[in-house]
Amino acid sequence: MEKGLRGLTVRGLCQQVGANPGTFVYHFGNRERFATEVLEHWYAPLLQQVQAGFEQDGAPLARLEAMLRQLLGYLRANGKMIAQMALDAAAGEAAAIAFMKGLAPRHPRLMLQCIVEAQQSNALTRAAPEHQLMFLMSALGVPMVAQQLLGGNDVLPDMLRHALATFAIDPQYIEQRLQWALRGLSPLEHA
């Protein structure tokens, strides 16, 4: 989906796959329902991976770290789709907006629960779990999405474009940011 959902038309899709528009309507009903099914199908593996990380044995911080790695791997592999979905939602695409609004009780809820458990075990500083998750996503995920949105365009200064190209999606630097972020949220040692 080069143009995201914004560029999706029933006629264009049917022409591309050689299907009759009546068949499309029979199977999907309308464009919005089709777009919703596409997004759900695309999202299902991430939810399964994060849920598996949440349900594994181990300390809460280790489980959170595993969940974050799953999410970051997914972001890395699907960054173009995620960037397009963000643009779709910003442009008012109903399916993208509904999908994003419906995320809270899914993988974010699992991650928040793991953050709470890590706080209760004194592995993370006690603070609003939503704030900590926002910090983690801004430190870890935002550079990856920014790379997909802006990296190939000539809209950034060369230094920033180079930094995004070098650090945003390279697994070595993603891991380094993950360790920095988790260390930054660990409780301070009192002397």
The ranges of the chain with pLDDT < 70 are 1-2, 151-152, 189-191
Give the pLDDT score at 190. 44
pTM as predicted: 0.88
Domain boundaries, the chain: 28-185
CATH of domain 28-185: 1.10.357
Write a three-state SS string for 65-94: HHHHHHHHHHHHHHHHHHHHHHHHHHCCCH
Give the pLDDT score at 188. 79
| % pLDDT > 70, the chain | 96
Give the pLDDT score at 189. 62
Give the pLDDT score at 114. 97
